[in-house]
Structure 1
Amino acid sequence: MWKIKWMIIAYLILLILSGCNGSASPSPEVTYNVTSTLDPSVSPIKHSDQLTFGIIYPMAHPFYEMITDSIEKASKPYSIQLIVKAPDEISLEQQMRMMETMIAQKVNGIAIDPIDSVALTPLINKASQAGIPVICFESDVPASKRYSYIGSDPLKEGTLMGQIIDRNLKGRGMIMIEGSMSDSPQISRRLEGIIQYLNQNTEIQVLETRYHHGDNEKAISDLESMIDEHPHFDALIPLDIVSSSNAILVWKSQGLKRYAITFGLTPEVKKALLNGQINAVISEYEEQWGVKIIEQLLAAIKNVPTPTWVDTGFQEIKQSDMTVE
């Protein structure tokens, strides 16, 4: 009896330890099925009338959770399974692996917000050759065989941002800029539009531009460093959602009373607008993306002729445009 008791105790300890070890390391990516409980690493089982669409984001962020909600709502009238994936932080390698997996799963269509337009071109072409249409949203891969692009013109967005900065600073002052990656076509074109407008129409000086490469800790460190090095700056211009999220945190911690104008109407930015931490934001009508993504994917699998660029447009939103919910 004594030996049996110790054997049972040892077995229970082994179970507990193995359970702890199995959950110790976090997943390197966020991935889930919206309309199915299937393991996303396994090829989805398709009914004859069911479509499976893959959605790939550049990173996990509340902004993209908002987009997923809108895609889910748009897909409800149809028999559609959504497989949604995103790296924890911006990772081209992971995003490429996600594309490879979805091609291997033989999904019916893929919508991707691409991190790198050059690196992803071969994979988008590979999907197209396999009969899987791909649409790009927010950022484009124009040299690929993608079916269409959903988004606005980043150069024109940058021009509007220049006008907003000009209006708030009355044509004079000093600004700091932070973005995700210098080689991102979207970020570089936004920056180009800003600089062109400011140089041609104002005396506003750009003190410094930094890039965080999707690293939240680096984004905060860069912001704090720029503020310390340029204490007399007049405005901060985040070029992407990670920069704006972390700018809000820094604004709160330091109690800054400077201008902050950004891109992307995320849930955080909405609150910051109401609280006065963000003065204005350029929105790309993000609430419409879900409908447009599902429309384009359905059109693509039916091979319906459609414009290769679905221009979402953009608009400035100020605190006065917001309503308290």
Structure 2
Amino acid sequence: MISQRRRYKDYMLYKFILIFSLFSSTLACSSPTSNTQLPVQSHTETDPLSPELTFGIIYPMAHSFYEVVTENAEEVAKVSGIELIVKAPDEANLEQQIRIMETLIRQNVDGIAIDPIDSVALTPYINKAINAGIPVICFESDSPASHRLSFIGADNLQSGTRMGEAINQLLKGRGMVLVETGMERVESLSERLEGFLNYINNKTDIDVLEVRYNEGNKERALLQLEQMIDDHPHFDAFVALDFISGSGSVLVWKAKGLNRYALTLGMMPELKEAIRNGQITIALSQNEGLWGELIVKYLLQAHNGKEIPEFVDTGISLVDLEALK
């Protein structure tokens, strides 16, 4: 009887050991030390911590005018999981802009938006990026001879014409005007000047006393404006066809306490304040606050192989004191 019980206990112990061994073997096969790969969590395209695309934005110079463009672009890029590389020479410098362009091409970014200082000189570098499979968009100033995919901005000839119409209305068809602009070879600036002069010369009896170029230099813009005022003290209005000349005129109007019409380009916070304070009469905006969003939107579409419009017209707005009320 005792031996029968012992045999039963031995049998149950053997069964327990067998089951335990099989269970342990199963655990060992599913252990993390095995060659089985655990699933890796992938980031979606909208995850801002893991950007899948990189776009470059190249300005002609570092200036507060472009801050609103960058802020707008960064907001859209963050939502879309896109990293932005924003670069600009300290002052308008063609060689530096070319080097920035070449660096982005070597980095094999997924798209480039550029406001070219010299549309002709930048053409081969824009084409080099396109040939490397990198979509390129121009904004504010175009490079029409290049293979760029799109231009985002306003019609600059029309912008010049609208400024001519505005000054004509203020002066009622007669008077003397001083004009300052940036770099002569920048396409957007040359078109604005052409549109302005064509209107003034053909539609009014207003005399343009002098036109000067600041070449993208803030100190030069100030000096030239002061010289023109000294040379033509009886002028009736000043027209700035670039934002550097416009910013300079605010300082000169404050320092000299001038009570003359001043028209400028761009809509920065400092210019809004200048309009309220009477240093600026009218500012022409090309709705540059839209550029950043449109840059990211159309570079993304181009990267995904979709067609994008050759010209994205952001329009023209004239802002005066009444518009700010």
Find 1:142's aligned residue among 136, 141, 144: 144
Q: What are the Cα deviations for residues 212-232 of structure 1, in whole angstroms up to 9, with x where unaligned? A: 101111111100000000000
Q: Aligned partners of 1:277 and 1:126: how far apart in 2?
A: 45
After TM superposition, the structure 1 = structure 2 runs for residues 1-325 of structure 1, keeping only pairs within 5 Å, are 50-323=52-325
Q: Residue 33 of structure 1 corresponds to which residue in structure 2? A: none
**Structure 1 residue ranges (4+ consecutive) displaced by more than 4 angstroms after TM superposition:** none
- CA positional deviation for 1:248: 0.7
Unaligned runs of 5+ in 1: 1-46
Q: Aligned partners of 1:56 and 1:270: how far apart in 2?
A: 26
Tell me the secondary structure at the aligned position of residue 119 of structure 1.
helix
Checking the alignment, whether the CA contact within 8 Å between 2:154 and 2:286 is kept in structure 1 is yes
Q: Aligned partners of 2:186 and 2:70: how far apart in 1?
A: 23
Q: What are the Cα deviations for residues 58-112 of structure 1, in whole angstroms up to 9, with x where unaligned? A: 0010111121111111212111111111111000000000000000111111111
Q: Aligned partners of 2:210 and 2:275: how far apart in 1?
A: 24
Q: Aligned partners of 2:290 and 2:54: how far apart in 1?
A: 21
Task: Give TM-score scaled by structure 2 length.
Answer: 0.83
Amino acid at match of 1:129: N
Amino acid at match of 1:217: E
Q: Aligned partners of 2:51 and 2:292: how far apart in 1?
A: 21
Q: Aligned partners of 1:134 and 1:268: how far apart in 2?
A: 31
Q: Aligned partners of 1:181 and 1:78: how far apart in 2?
A: 35
Checking the alignment, whether the CA contact within 8 Å between 2:50 and 2:81 is kept in structure 1 is no
Amino acid at match of 1:267: P
Which is richer in helix?
A: 2
Checking the alignment, whether the CA contact within 8 Å between 1:241 and 1:266 is kept in structure 2 is no
Report the RMSD for the aligned CA atoms in angstroms.
1.4
Q: Aligned partners of 1:52 and 1:306: how far apart in 2?
A: 19
Q: What are the Cα deviations for residues 100-130 of structure 1, in whole angstroms up to 9, with x where unaligned? A: 0000111111111110000000000000111
Q: What are the Cα deviations for residues 162-209 of structure 1, in whole angstroms up to 9, with x where unaligned? A: 110000011100000000012222111111111111122211000000
State which drifts further: 221-230 or 300-309.
300-309
Q: Aligned partners of 1:57 and 1:124: how far apart in 2?
A: 14
Structure of larger gyration radius: 2
Q: What are the Cα deviations for residues 109-163 of structure 1, in whole angstroms up to 9, with x where unaligned? A: 1111110000000000000111111100000001111111101111111111111
Q: Aligned partners of 1:184 and 1:72: how far apart in 2?
A: 26
Checking the alignment, whether the CA contact within 8 Å between 2:182 and 2:241 is kept in structure 1 is yes
